[in-house]
Protein backbone atom coordinates (compact mmCIF):
# COMPACT_ATOMS: atom_id res chain seq x y z
CA UNK A 1 0.00 0.00 0.00
CA UNK A 2 1.36 3.39 -0.94
CA UNK A 3 1.86 5.77 1.98
CA UNK A 4 0.48 9.27 1.47
CA UNK A 5 3.15 11.96 1.64
CA UNK A 6 2.40 15.20 3.41
CA UNK A 7 3.62 18.35 1.76
CA UNK A 8 6.16 20.22 3.85
CA UNK A 9 5.12 23.75 4.68
CA UNK A 10 7.66 26.56 4.83
CA UNK A 11 7.04 29.49 7.15
CA UNK A 12 8.93 32.51 8.39
CA UNK A 13 8.58 36.10 9.51
CA UNK A 14 10.26 39.39 8.68
CA UNK A 15 11.71 41.57 11.42
CA UNK A 16 14.17 44.45 11.61
CA UNK A 17 16.71 44.61 14.44
CA UNK A 18 18.93 47.42 15.70
CA UNK A 19 21.67 47.12 18.33
CA UNK A 20 20.56 43.52 18.97
CA UNK A 21 17.03 44.70 19.82
CA UNK A 22 13.87 44.06 17.85
CA UNK A 23 13.05 47.25 15.98
CA UNK A 24 10.10 46.40 13.77
CA UNK A 25 8.07 43.29 13.16
CA UNK A 26 4.64 42.60 11.73
CA UNK A 27 2.86 43.42 15.03
CA UNK A 28 4.53 46.81 15.41
CA UNK A 29 4.03 47.66 11.74
CA UNK A 30 0.31 46.83 12.12
CA UNK A 31 0.16 49.14 15.14
CA UNK A 32 1.81 51.98 13.20
CA UNK A 33 -0.64 51.47 10.34
CA UNK A 34 -3.59 51.77 12.74
CA UNK A 35 -2.09 54.91 14.29
CA UNK A 36 -1.87 56.35 10.80
CA UNK A 37 -5.49 55.35 10.15
CA UNK A 38 -7.05 56.56 13.43
CA UNK A 39 -4.64 59.30 14.51
CA UNK A 40 -4.76 57.89 18.05
CA UNK A 41 -2.61 55.40 19.97
CA UNK A 42 -5.58 54.44 22.13
CA UNK A 43 -7.83 53.64 19.16
CA UNK A 44 -4.96 51.86 17.37
CA UNK A 45 -4.31 49.71 20.47
CA UNK A 46 -7.97 48.64 20.60
CA UNK A 47 -7.96 47.87 16.87
CA UNK A 48 -5.00 45.47 17.15
CA UNK A 49 -6.19 44.00 20.47
CA UNK A 50 -3.58 45.25 22.96
CA UNK A 51 -3.63 47.59 25.96
CA UNK A 52 -2.82 51.27 25.69
CA UNK A 53 0.29 50.79 27.88
CA UNK A 54 1.58 47.98 25.66
CA UNK A 55 1.01 50.12 22.57
CA UNK A 56 2.66 53.17 24.15
CA UNK A 57 5.70 51.13 25.27
CA UNK A 58 6.01 49.70 21.74
CA UNK A 59 5.87 53.04 19.90
CA UNK A 60 8.23 54.63 22.44
CA UNK A 61 10.78 51.87 21.85
CA UNK A 62 10.41 52.21 18.08
CA UNK A 63 10.88 55.96 18.24
CA UNK A 64 13.96 55.67 20.48
CA UNK A 65 15.64 53.20 18.09
CA UNK A 66 14.83 55.17 14.94
CA UNK A 67 17.24 57.77 13.55
CA UNK A 68 14.24 59.99 12.83
CA UNK A 69 10.91 60.25 14.67
CA UNK A 70 8.26 57.88 13.34
CA UNK A 71 5.31 59.66 14.94
CA UNK A 72 4.39 62.99 16.53
CA UNK A 73 1.97 63.66 19.39
CA UNK A 74 -0.27 66.71 19.35
CA UNK A 75 -2.06 68.03 22.43
CA UNK A 76 -5.03 70.37 22.76
CA UNK A 77 -6.53 72.30 19.90
CA UNK A 78 -9.97 71.97 18.34
CA UNK A 79 -9.34 68.37 17.40
CA UNK A 80 -8.37 67.47 20.95
CA UNK A 81 -4.89 66.31 19.99
CA UNK A 82 -3.79 62.94 18.71
CA UNK A 83 -0.87 61.07 17.17
CA UNK A 84 0.27 61.26 13.54
CA UNK A 85 2.94 59.40 11.63
CA UNK A 86 5.81 61.35 10.14
CA UNK A 87 6.79 60.90 6.49
CA UNK A 88 9.68 58.77 7.73
CA UNK A 89 7.23 56.58 9.62
CA UNK A 90 5.10 56.10 6.52
CA UNK A 91 8.21 55.28 4.47
CA UNK A 92 9.30 52.66 7.01
CA UNK A 93 5.88 50.96 6.68
CA UNK A 94 6.09 51.03 2.89
CA UNK A 95 9.57 49.49 2.88
CA UNK A 96 8.56 46.79 5.36
CA UNK A 97 5.53 45.77 3.29
CA UNK A 98 7.68 45.56 0.13
CA UNK A 99 10.18 43.31 1.89
CA UNK A 100 7.37 41.24 3.41
CA UNK A 101 5.77 40.73 -0.01
CA UNK A 102 9.07 39.54 -1.50
CA UNK A 103 9.63 37.31 1.53
CA UNK A 104 6.22 35.67 1.10
CA UNK A 105 6.91 35.07 -2.59
CA UNK A 106 10.21 33.47 -1.64
CA UNK A 107 8.56 31.19 0.94
CA UNK A 108 5.88 30.18 -1.57
CA UNK A 109 8.59 29.33 -4.09
CA UNK A 110 10.49 27.29 -1.52
CA UNK A 111 7.31 25.45 -0.46
CA UNK A 112 6.67 24.46 -4.07
CA UNK A 113 10.22 23.11 -4.26
CA UNK A 114 9.64 21.09 -1.08
CA UNK A 115 6.86 19.05 -2.72
CA UNK A 116 7.91 15.39 -2.98
CA UNK A 117 11.42 16.12 -1.67
CA UNK A 118 12.79 13.15 0.24
CA UNK A 119 14.83 13.67 3.41
CA UNK A 120 18.05 12.57 1.72
CA UNK A 121 17.83 15.46 -0.69
CA UNK A 122 16.78 17.96 1.96
CA UNK A 123 20.31 19.07 2.92
CA UNK A 124 21.10 20.03 -0.65
CA UNK A 125 17.87 22.01 -0.92
CA UNK A 126 18.48 23.81 2.38
CA UNK A 127 21.95 24.83 1.21
CA UNK A 128 20.41 26.42 -1.89
CA UNK A 129 17.79 28.19 0.23
CA UNK A 130 20.49 29.50 2.59
CA UNK A 131 22.47 30.97 -0.28
CA UNK A 132 19.37 32.74 -1.56
CA UNK A 133 18.21 33.97 1.83
CA UNK A 134 21.58 35.21 3.11
CA UNK A 135 22.28 37.41 0.11
CA UNK A 136 21.60 41.12 0.51
CA UNK A 137 20.86 41.85 -3.15
CA UNK A 138 18.97 39.19 -5.09
CA UNK A 139 17.34 40.06 -8.42
CA UNK A 140 15.04 37.70 -10.32
CA UNK A 141 14.88 37.96 -14.08
CA UNK A 142 15.11 36.20 -17.41
CA UNK A 143 18.23 35.35 -19.40
CA UNK A 144 18.13 37.42 -22.60
CA UNK A 145 21.63 36.88 -23.93
CA UNK A 146 24.66 34.60 -23.62
CA UNK A 147 27.90 35.50 -25.39
CA UNK A 148 30.55 32.78 -25.11
CA UNK A 149 34.26 33.50 -25.07
CA UNK A 150 37.19 31.10 -24.91
CA UNK A 151 36.92 30.51 -21.16
CA UNK A 152 34.20 32.87 -19.92
CA UNK A 153 30.74 33.96 -20.99
CA UNK A 154 28.82 37.20 -20.73
CA UNK A 155 25.28 36.56 -19.53
CA UNK A 156 22.57 39.25 -19.62
CA UNK A 157 19.64 39.05 -17.22
CA UNK A 158 16.58 41.26 -17.78
CA UNK A 159 14.50 42.14 -14.73
CA UNK A 160 10.74 42.71 -14.78
CA UNK A 161 11.49 46.43 -14.54
CA UNK A 162 13.42 46.10 -17.83
CA UNK A 163 16.68 46.94 -16.04
CA UNK A 164 19.47 44.67 -17.18
CA UNK A 165 22.26 43.02 -15.21
CA UNK A 166 25.31 41.62 -16.96
CA UNK A 167 27.42 38.87 -15.40
CA UNK A 168 30.75 37.40 -16.44
CA UNK A 169 31.01 33.74 -15.44
CA UNK A 170 33.00 30.76 -16.65
CA UNK A 171 31.80 28.60 -19.51
CA UNK A 172 31.78 25.66 -17.10
CA UNK A 173 29.35 27.59 -14.87
CA UNK A 174 27.06 28.28 -17.81
CA UNK A 175 27.01 24.57 -18.57
CA UNK A 176 26.58 23.38 -14.97
CA UNK A 177 23.70 25.82 -14.40
CA UNK A 178 22.14 24.80 -17.70
CA UNK A 179 21.73 28.44 -18.70
CA UNK A 180 19.77 29.12 -21.87
CA UNK A 181 18.20 32.25 -23.31
CA UNK A 182 14.62 32.63 -22.10
CA UNK A 183 15.02 30.76 -18.81
CA UNK A 184 14.46 32.27 -15.36
CA UNK A 185 17.50 32.99 -13.20
CA UNK A 186 18.58 35.29 -10.43
CA UNK A 187 21.57 37.55 -9.89
CA UNK A 188 23.27 38.01 -6.52
CA UNK A 189 25.40 41.06 -5.76
CA UNK A 190 27.14 41.61 -2.44
CA UNK A 191 26.44 44.99 -0.83
CA UNK A 192 30.18 45.62 -0.54
CA UNK A 193 30.58 45.27 -4.31
CA UNK A 194 28.14 48.10 -5.06
CA UNK A 195 29.66 51.48 -5.91
CA UNK A 196 27.55 54.62 -5.49
CA UNK A 197 27.90 57.48 -7.95
CA UNK A 198 26.16 60.74 -8.79
CA UNK A 199 25.95 62.48 -12.14
CA UNK A 200 23.92 63.06 -15.25
CA UNK A 201 22.10 60.38 -17.22
CA UNK A 202 23.89 58.53 -18.70
CA UNK A 203 26.81 58.51 -16.29
CA UNK A 204 30.12 57.73 -17.99
CA UNK A 205 32.18 55.19 -16.10
CA UNK A 206 33.92 51.94 -17.04
CA UNK A 207 31.56 49.66 -15.12
CA UNK A 208 29.11 47.46 -16.98
CA UNK A 209 26.19 47.49 -14.54
CA UNK A 210 24.75 50.94 -13.82
CA UNK A 211 21.29 51.14 -12.22
CA UNK A 212 19.73 54.50 -11.40
CA UNK A 213 17.49 55.11 -8.40
CA UNK A 214 16.99 57.20 -5.30
CA UNK A 215 18.17 56.64 -1.74
CA UNK A 216 15.30 55.20 0.30
CA UNK A 217 17.23 55.00 3.56
CA UNK A 218 20.70 55.82 4.82
CA UNK A 219 22.29 54.69 8.09
CA UNK A 220 25.71 55.84 9.25
CA UNK A 221 27.83 53.60 11.43
CA UNK A 222 31.20 54.10 13.07
CA UNK A 223 33.16 53.56 9.84
CA UNK A 224 30.71 52.76 7.06
CA UNK A 225 27.41 54.06 5.78
CA UNK A 226 24.72 51.64 4.60
CA UNK A 227 22.41 52.74 1.80
CA UNK A 228 19.22 51.25 0.41
CA UNK A 229 18.57 52.51 -3.11
CA UNK A 230 15.11 52.14 -4.63
CA UNK A 231 15.33 51.16 -8.29
CA UNK A 232 12.60 50.96 -10.90
CA UNK A 233 10.01 48.23 -10.50
CA UNK A 234 10.16 48.42 -6.67
CA UNK A 235 13.55 46.70 -6.69
CA UNK A 236 15.92 47.66 -3.88
CA UNK A 237 19.71 47.43 -3.80
CA UNK A 238 21.90 47.80 -0.72
CA UNK A 239 25.38 49.29 -0.68
CA UNK A 240 28.00 49.78 2.00
CA UNK A 241 30.42 52.69 1.52
CA UNK A 242 32.73 54.62 3.81
CA UNK A 243 31.39 57.52 5.84
CA UNK A 244 33.84 59.86 4.12
CA UNK A 245 32.54 58.88 0.66
CA UNK A 246 28.96 59.48 1.79
CA UNK A 247 30.01 62.90 3.09
CA UNK A 248 31.94 63.81 -0.05
CA UNK A 249 28.97 62.88 -2.25
CA UNK A 250 26.57 64.76 0.08
CA UNK A 251 24.21 61.80 0.12
CA UNK A 252 20.82 61.99 1.79
CA UNK A 253 17.45 60.25 1.62
CA UNK A 254 15.82 61.08 -1.70
CA UNK A 255 19.13 61.73 -3.51
CA UNK A 256 19.26 60.46 -7.09
CA UNK A 257 22.22 58.11 -7.43
CA UNK A 258 23.71 55.36 -9.54
CA UNK A 259 24.27 51.91 -8.05
CA UNK A 260 27.11 50.35 -10.02
CA UNK A 261 28.91 47.01 -9.88
CA UNK A 262 31.26 45.05 -12.09
CA UNK A 263 29.96 42.19 -14.22
CA UNK A 264 32.56 39.95 -12.57
CA UNK A 265 30.97 40.71 -9.16
CA UNK A 266 27.64 39.15 -10.14
CA UNK A 267 26.80 35.61 -9.04
CA UNK A 268 24.15 33.83 -11.09
CA UNK A 269 21.81 31.12 -9.83
CA UNK A 270 18.79 29.18 -11.00
CA UNK A 271 15.76 27.99 -9.06
Domain hosting residue 77, numbered range: 16-95
- Which CATH number does the domain housing residue 200 bear? 2.40.50.100
Q: Which of 70, 95, 120 delimits the end of a domain?
A: 95
Confidence of residue 119 (pLDDT cuts 50, 70, 90): very low
Quick check: 35 and 45 in contact, CB under 8 A?
no
pLDDT of residue 129: 46
Is the whole model's pTM more than 0.75, yes or no? no
Residue 113, CA distances (Å) to 11, 116, 135, 270 in order = 13, 8, 19, 12
pLDDT tens for each residue of 40-95: 888 998 998 988 888 888 888 777 777 778 878 766 544 445 788 888 888 888 88
Distance of CA 222 to the CA centre of its chain: 23
Mean pLDDT is highest, among 94-103, 141-150, 229-238, for 141-150
pLDDT of residue 241: 92
pLDDT of residue 264: 92
Quick check: 258 and 212 in contact, CB under 8 A?
yes
- Please tell me the distance from the alpha carbon of residue 49 to that of residue 45, in angstroms, as a whole number: 6
Q: How much of the chain, in percent, has pLDDT values that exceed 90? A: 31
Q: How much of the chain, in percent, has pLDDT values that exceed 70? A: 76
The number of beta carbons lying within 10 Å of the beta carbon of residue 79 is 8
- Which CATH number does the domain housing residue 35 bear? 1.10.10.10
Amino acid sequence: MRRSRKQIEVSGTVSFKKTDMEFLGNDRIALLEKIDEYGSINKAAKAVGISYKTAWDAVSTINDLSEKPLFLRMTGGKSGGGTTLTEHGKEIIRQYRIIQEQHEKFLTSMEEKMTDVDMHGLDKLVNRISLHASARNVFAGKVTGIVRGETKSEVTLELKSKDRIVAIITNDSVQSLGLLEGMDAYAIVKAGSVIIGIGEDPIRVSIRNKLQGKIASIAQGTVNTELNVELSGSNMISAVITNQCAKDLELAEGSRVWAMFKASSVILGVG
